[in-house]
Amino acid sequence: MAQVTASGAALFRWIDGALHFLAVESRLHRGYWGLVKGRLEAGETVPQAARREIAEEVGLRGVSFLPGFREEVRYRLPSGDDKLVIYFLAAAGAGEVRLQAEELADYRWLPFPEVCELFTFPEAGRVVERAVRFLEAGRGGPPAGRESIAGHALRRPHAAALDEILGRRLDVLDDGFVRVVDYLGNDAAIVQAARVSYGEGTRRVSDDRGLIRYLMRHRHTTPFEMCELKLHVRAPMDAWRQWIRHRTASVNEVSTRYSIAIDAAQATPPAEWRTQAAGNRQGSGGLVDRSVGERLSAAEADLQRQARQVYQERLDAGVAREQARKDLPLSTYTEAYWKIDLHNLLHFLALRMDDHAQLEIRRYARVIGTEVVARWCPLAWEAFCDYRLRATSLSRIETELVAALAAGDAEAGMSIARAAGWLAQRTAEPGRLARNRERAEAEARLLALGLPAPWGDGSGGKGRPAAGVD
Ligand SMILES: Cc1cc2nc3c(=O)[nH]c(=O)nc-3n(C[C@H](O)[C@H](O)[C@H](O)COP(=O)(O)OP(=O)(O)OC[C@H]3O[C@@H](n4cnc5c(N)ncnc54)[C@H](O)[C@@H]3O)c2cc1C
């Protein structure tokens, strides 16, 4: 079987600020629309043939071929011969189209993607799509002064669901809130940025959700930095003190040197006083008995009242605000504008929505995550929940343990734990495991995977070890 070779071009032109492509209709097969193309003549190179076909079929001379673009399309002709068409990308210039009447019946300049809908065969649409991506990736365009390469003037991305709550106070704790003041970008802005960087690879990760999930899985983080969020926050100073440790945000906080401190302090209800955690020096355990809580809440109210009164007395006596504030409690509310990009916001949420974070800041983080980010960039939020927030990452030791336990080999699991130094016994109580934080965390992770640790009862190292523990 013979091979027929032809060449042609995706011819583009800017019309009213938008990128248009030329589609032509065959005279022999009326209703068949495609790109300009024709067979190679004897002694011609492929680009020479494309240039000649453009001049003959549509009367355009002096078109500019963009180096680096070449797209091959192969198909079988009714005769049984194989046909190869090599397409180039060419700027058509301003010349008038003059059709070769024997070959072509009509032509149209259409923007992408409308032009693809006109083409009779999808191959022509794919060539144009590749051409648009090629231009979007900065190879060959855009000409100076053009706003958009994709055929449409750029519109400011927005998230309708977030617009609905813009400026609305989302309550947190007894008198705190977060309020979206402004934002930049949305899921599409993440995709748009990623596609520039992937260029041709975009074909393999073509849909937006798939691409965002891919980026999140592989920690390709910069596309998420294309989105920014500005919040107005009101939080008690102890939570704010933790919040402000996130250095990648821009912050402007109310100044208690300049202004009088906010006359509000976070009050803990009697049922919400927490005991000190036994295993974690930083965290809380259960709840303090309600009767004790009543007393603590009353004492707190007294203290806050008195602190405010002393502060006011100092102000009334003419003391400078910067000095008068020194004995205000950490429960006093402060307010700030806080601006951060989505990548760093997700890092903040990963740390501050985690069970290890203090409950008060966790409440803020939960509202920001579930009420704001979920509305703003739902695909990124879903991917974040799947791959970070609710994901489990396993250490090398844990991975080996899971493999052993999943294969039903408890003895191998014991050996791995022993080699890791996890099964040492208490000197004072032989037969009981010594405290080991890494082991305790691994036990919790194994339990969540339905694989109880073989060396004990999963009680954080406090239970009786199974036989074989050294
Ligand atoms: C549960 C919990 C307990 C904590 N306990 C304590 C504590 O006891 N004491 C304490 O002081 N803090 C504590 N922190 C605060 C913690 O150490 C971090 O300061 C805080 O979480 C901010 O994290 P970050 O630095 O990753 O975030 P960001 O400041 O937003 O930074 C984001 C990332 O940018 C990079 N980065 C930013 N600035 C720099 C820099 N200067 N140099 C290099 N890389 C940089 C880092 O990769 C960083 O992870 C605790 C935090 C949590 C969540």
Question: Which is the closest atom of ligand 1 to the Cα of 352?
Answer: 53
Q: Is pLDDT at 152 greater than 80 in this prediction? A: no
* pLDDT score for 282: 72
Ligand 1 shell residues, CB under 6 Å: 245-248, 282, 344, 347, 351, 356-357
What does the mean pLDDT of the chain come to?
88
**What is the residue with the minimal CA distance to atom 40 of ligand 1?**
247
Q: Give CATH 3.90.79.10 domain extents, the chain.
A: 3-136
* pLDDT score for 88: 95
* pLDDT score for 154: 55
What is the mean pLDDT of the segment spanning 438-451?
92
Mutate to test the pocket of ligand 1, among 351, 364, 441 (most ligand atoms within 8 A of CB): 351
**Ligand 1 center–CA 357 separation, angstroms:** 12
Q: Give CATH 3.30.1360.170 domain extents, the chain.
A: 169-266+331-389
**pTM, 2 dp:** 0.69
Active site residues: 352
**Ligand 1 center–CA 197 separation, angstroms:** 29
DSSP state of 227: -
* pLDDT score for 299: 98
**How far is it, in rounded angstroms, from Cα 372 to Cα 233?**
13
Fold of 3-136: Nucleoside Triphosphate Pyrophosphohydrolase (3.90.79)
* pLDDT score for 145: 40
* pLDDT score for 381: 97
* pLDDT score for 68: 87
**How far is it, in rounded angstroms, from Cα 208 to Cα 202?**
10
Q: Is pLDDT at 464 greater than 80 in this prediction? A: no
446 pLDDT tier (thresholds 50, 70, 90): very high
Backbone angles phi, psi at 122, to 5 degrees: -65, -20
- For the stretch 321-378, pLDDT in tens is 999 999 999 999 999 999 999 999 999 999 999 999 999 999 999 999 999 999 999 9
Which structure tokens are listed for 45?
Answer: 């190179």
Other C-beta atoms lying within 10 Å of the C-beta of residue 118: 15
* pLDDT score for 353: 97
Q: Is pLDDT at 465 greater than 60 in this prediction? A: no
Q: What is the CATH number of domain 169-266+331-389?
A: 3.30.1360.170
**What is the residue with the minimal CA distance to atom 50 of ligand 1?**
242
Prior bond to 454 cis, omega within 30? no
What is the mean pLDDT of the segment spanning 166-177?
96
**How far is it, in rounded angstroms, from Cα 173 to Cα 107?**
65
Q: Which residues contact 329 (CB under 8 A, 6 or more apart)?
A: 265, 303, 304, 307
To 10 degrees, the CA torsion angle through 88, 90, 92, 97? 0
Percent of the chain whose predicted confidence (pLDDT) is above 90: 66
What is the mean pLDDT of the segment spanning 117-143?
79
- For the stretch 16-67, pLDDT in tens is 767 889 999 999 889 899 999 999 999 999 999 999 999 999 999 888 888 8
* pLDDT score for 240: 98
139 pLDDT tier (thresholds 50, 70, 90): low
Read out DSSP for 312-364? HHHHHTT--HHHHGGG--TTBEEEEEEEEEHHHHHHHHHHHSSTTS-HHHHHH
**Per mean pLDDT, which of 109-118, 132-141, 240-249 is the most reliable?**
240-249
Say how far residue 199 (Cα) sits from the centre of its chain: 19
* pLDDT score for 67: 85
Q: Is pLDDT at 462 greater than 70 in this prediction? A: no
**Per mean pLDDT, which of 190-194, 220-224, 256-260 is the most reliable?**
220-224
The residue whose two tokens read 């996890």 is: 422
**Ligand 1 center–CA 246 separation, angstroms:** 6
**How far is it, in rounded angstroms, from Cα 252 to Cα 236?**
16
- For the stretch 391-441, pLDDT in tens is 999 999 999 999 999 999 999 999 999 999 999 988 888 788 998 989 999
**Ligand 1 center–CA 113 separation, angstroms:** 46
- For the stretch 57-96, pLDDT in tens is 999 988 888 888 999 999 888 888 899 999 999 988 888 9
**Per mean pLDDT, which of 23-37, 139-153, 272-286 is the most reliable?**
23-37
Helix (H) or strand (E) holding 44: none
What is the mean pLDDT of the segment spanning 276-305?
89
Name the least confident of 149-153, 182-186, 244-248, 381-385. 149-153
